[in-house]
Structure 1
Amino acid sequence: MSTDEDTPRQAYAGVPFADRKNARRERLLDAALNLLDAEGFAAVTVRRVCKEAGLNNRYFYENFTDGEALLDALVDRLEQELALNTAAMMATKPIAAVDQAIEILVAAFVDDPRLLRILHSPADPTIARRRNELLLRSVAAVRPYLEVAAAEFGNPDQRMVETAGYMLIGGWSDTLWAYAEGKLGIERAELVEQLARMFSGIARTLAIPGEPGID
C-alpha cells in the first residue's frame, strides 16, 4: 500500500503535493524564526530546524538546498510581510507630509522588528548580502523624496543626494533597531518627530547655495 513517503507527488488525504510541500516549507521557516528569536543564529542548523518543525530532514532538502537558502527565504518572507504591512498602513493613511511617511516607516519596522534583528545580527555571508541589497533598494526609493524636499530650498546637488541617501538609510536602520531593542529612552511620537526634523535638515543642506529650486 502506498503512503505519503512512497508517493510524494500524489495527493494524500485529499491534499495535493504542492500544498503539502508549501505547508512544510512554512513550518520550517516558522521553526527557523523561533530558533533565531530564542537562541540566535548558532541554533539555526538543519537538525535543529527540522526538530523544531517536527519534520524529517529530507523535507528540509525538499525545500532548501542548504542553510543559506533557508536564510534567504526567511528574509524574503519577512520583507514581503513588511511590504504588505506598509501598503496596508499607507492605504488607511495616505502620505501627505514627511512626518507621516516616517511614522509609517517606524510603525512597519518597530511593530514587527524581526527583520531588523536578523539584519543586525552577527556577520553571516547571506545576511550581509541581503542587508546590502536592502540598503541599495532603500536608497533608490528615498532619493526622489530627498530631491523634492531639497528643491524647496534650492537646486539639489545630485552628488550629495546620493551620499545623503546612504547616510539616511544606514542611520535610520540602526536607529530603528536601537529603538526596537529598547536602547532609546523616548516615545514613538518623539522618535518620529526627531527623524522628520533630521530628514528636513539634511534636505536643506543638499540645496546648492544661490541656485533656484525646481518649480
Structure 2
Amino acid sequence: MATGRDYRGMTAEQRLADRRERLLSAAYTSFAGVGFTATTIERLCAAARISNRAFYECFTSREDLMRAVYDRCVGETLLSVAKAIGEAPPDPESKIQAGIRQYITFVTRDIRRARIMHLEVRRAGDILTAHRQRAVGDFTQMIEETVGDLPDGLPGRTHLLALGMVGAIQELLIEWVLADVQPPLEHLIEAAVHIFRRSFGS
C-alpha cells in the first residue's frame, strides 16, 4: 500500500520542496558564475542531483527558475534594508544612510547575489523585465516613504529623485562587480550618500 513517503521518510511535498531548494541553490551559483545564457537545464540537474524530469516538476522552464532566484535575492535584500531603516535614528537622512549602507553591504556580502541582481538580470533580457521593474519600484517606494514630501511640493519630484537614486546605486554596484580591482565598499557608500544629499538637498 502506498504511504506517500519514500525510503528517506519524506512526503511527496517534502521531496518536491527539497528538489526545488536544490535547484535554486544550483541556479544561484551557476547563473552568477557562467551566467544565465550558458547554464543549461542539464547542468542545473547535475548540480542539484536530480533528473531532468524532476526539474519540470519544480519549474516550468529555465527562465522560470531564473525569475525565482532573482525574486528571492530581491526579497531578502528588501527585508534586510527595511530592518536597517527601522532601527536607524528617526530623521530621514539617518534612515536613508542606514538603508544605503545596508543595501550595499548586504548585496556584496555574497558576490553571487550582487551578480544576479545587477548583472545577470540585464543579460537575461526580457524574461526578467517585469520582475526587475517591480524590484526597482519596491526600492523606490521605500526611499519615498522614508524621505517624505520635499519642501518645494512639485508633483512627482520625490518619486523621480528616488528612482534616480535607485539607478545610481545599481550602477555603482555594476562597476564593483565588473571591476578588475574592486573599489572599497566604503567608497561606494560614500558616493551613494553624496548623490542622495545633492539630490534631496540634505
Q: Give the alignment's TM-score, normalised by structure 2.
A: 0.81
2:115 to 114, 117, 120: 117
User: Structure 1 144/179 Cα, relative in aligned 2: closer, same or farther at 3 Å?
Assistant: same
How much does 1:49 deviate? 1.2
How much does 1:87 deviate? 5.7
* Paired amino acid for 1:169: V
CA RMSD of aligned residues (A): 2.7
Residue equivalent to 1:23:
18
Measure, in 2, the Cα distance between the counterparts of 1:110 and 1:28.
22
Residue equivalent to 1:141:
142
Aligned length: 193
Residue equivalent to 1:130:
131
Equivalent pair of 2:33/2:112 in contact (CA under 8 Å): no
How much does 1:175 deviate? 0.9
Measure, in 2, the Cα distance between the counterparts of 1:34 and 1:179.
19
* Paired amino acid for 1:188: L
How much does 1:110 deviate? 1.6
User: Structure 1 100/34 Cα, relative in aligned 2: closer, same or farther at 3 Å?
Assistant: closer
Q: Secondary structure at the match of 1:155?
A: coil
* Paired amino acid for 2:51: N
Which range moved further: 53-62 or 155-164? Answer: 155-164
Equivalent pair of 1:135/1:169 in contact (CA under 8 Å): yes
Measure, in 1, the Cα distance between the counterparts of 2:130 and 2:180.
26
User: Structure 1 155/183 Cα, relative in aligned 2: closer, same or farther at 3 Å?
Assistant: farther
Task: Name whichever structure is richer in helix by fraction.
Answer: 2
Equivalent pair of 1:178/1:184 in contact (CA under 8 Å): no
Task: Report the structure number with the largest CA radius of gyration.
Answer: 1
Equivalent pair of 2:71/2:131 in contact (CA under 8 Å): no
How much does 1:184 deviate? 7.5
User: Structure 1 47/61 Cα, relative in aligned 2: closer, same or farther at 3 Å?
Assistant: same
Equivalent pair of 2:73/2:113 in contact (CA under 8 Å): yes
1:11 to 5, 21, 27: 5
Residue equivalent to 1:35:
30
Measure, in 2, the Cα distance between the counterparts of 1:80 and 1:11.
32
Q: Give the alignment's TM-score, normalised by structure 1.
A: 0.77
* Deviation readout 1:109-137 (Å, 9 max, x if unpaired): 22124344224232422222221111112
* Paired amino acid for 1:95: A
Equivalent pair of 2:101/2:189 in contact (CA under 8 Å): yes
Residue equivalent to 2:88:
95
How much does 1:101 deviate? 2.6
* Deviation readout 1:54-93 (Å, 9 max, x if unpaired): 21111101111112211121112222333454466x39x9
Consecutive unaligned residues in structure 1, runs of 5 or more = 206-215
User: Structure 1 110/156 Cα, relative in aligned 2: closer, same or farther at 3 Å?
Assistant: farther
Measure, in 2, the Cα distance between the counterparts of 1:52 and 1:182.
28
Q: Percent identity?
A: 23
